[in-house]
Amino acid sequence: MSSEKLKIAVLGGTGNIGEGMVLRLALQNLMAEGVKNEVIIGSRSKETANEAAKEAISELENCGFDTSKITITGNSNHEAAQAAEVIILTIRFGHVLPLLHEIREALEDKILITPVVPMVKEGDLFVYKPPEEGSAALAIQKNVPASTKVVAAFHNIPAGKLRDIVKCKAVHHALVCSDDVEAKKMVINLTEHMGCMKPLDGGPLKQASIMESLTPLLINLAKLNGLRDLGINFS
């Protein structure tokens, strides 16, 4: 991933998954030769996003990283999407389709990465509840411009390990699905330098339902067995 300069918007970047994604993407500027990511945190409130950007920089500094080569800014979801070449959705499924409608014109010719999982809590456990399209990824593809390249990825990466940029040594497999070959390659390349993930080609976008359904399974397994931050590994 040499000589790459990407503007990456993390929409919902103030949540647990979003915060970890922001830190990992920013650190690529220090860990991978030639990488110059500009990370933009998107939120409903520009002020909230700006504050989250300052907190991310502060956390990196407190962990001993030189932030002089790191760019993290905040903006509204629409402005962040408009400025970026790659957009990552880290919001709950119930908010996804209204947001896509709101920012639709900003999605033209962009790569849109979805780790979104449609699930609900029934009793003490979570249940996968896909929309009529069969998965969040396919519902998203249906609701974006034809020029938008949708990639499903990062569903089964535990938020705790994603955020733990100092101690986390565990590497979990990250499955990547898309109907666009070049977009899939780009996301696989991006993932290889995130420090806690090893990407695997998961096939076309229709396979995303299998990936999405693993997330409630992992959460339930952790709860039932007194574990935390479970991921998946294939060997």
Reported as a single tens digit per residue, the pLDDT across 190-231 is 998 888 889 999 999 999 999 999 999 999 999 999 998 899
Angle, CA of 230, 183 and 13, to the nearest 5°: 50
pLDDT at position 151: 98
Percent of the chain with pLDDT over 70: 97
Check residue 36 and give its pLDDT: 86
Please state whether 156 falls in left (phi above 0), alpha (psi between -120 and 50) or beta: alpha
Token code pair at residue 28 = 């690529």
> What integer pLDDT is reported at residue 169 of this predicted model?
62
Beta carbons of 83 and 119 less than 8 angstroms apart? no
Distance CA 171, CA 5 (A): 25
Summarize pLDDT for 80-139 with one digit per residue, the tens.
999 999 999 999 999 999 999 999 999 999 999 999 999 999 999 999 999 999 999 999
Architecture of domain 6-225: 3-Layer(aba) Sandwich (3.40)
